[in-house]
Amino acid sequence: MQVFFDTNVLVAASERSHPHYVQAWPALRRVEAGKDKGFMSAHSIAEVYAALTRLPVQPRIHPAEALRIISDNILPHFEAVPIGKKDYVEALRVVGNGGMERSENLRRIAHGLCGQVRC
């Protein structure tokens, strides 16, 4: 199955103390094991880094450790999909016009970029 991962899921799966780790980790493991094909926004690379280095955990995640997590645990297993200006503008237009929730909108964008996906 093809699965598009939002930044929030990648962050949650990367830190055991995260409140959503238990839900996110198995999904990441399925991609690592080759059971699912993982997709992520190319922009999520920077977002995951920023989020990991700012998580309110002790000890804090050092920037070098955040880079290692991304380089070792995420990038080898996911296809980074570019989401262009047109895609972002369309997403904002739909949400701004009282359209679907953010996650549903991202699923639609991912579907258009990756084919049939599960979010």
37 vs 59: CA distance, rounded Å: 32
In angstroms, how far apart are the furthest CA atoms of the chain? 42
- pTM for the complete prediction? 0.78
CATH code of domain 2-114:
3.40.50.1010
Please report, for the chain, the start and end positions of each structural domain, with discontinuous segments joined by +: 2-114
Strand ranges (E), 10-63: 37-41
pLDDT tens-digit profile, the chain (119 residues): 999 899 999 999 999 999 999 999 999 999 999 999 999 999 999 999 999 999 999 999 999 999 999 999 999 999 999 888 888 788 778 777 766 555 555 555 555 666 555 54
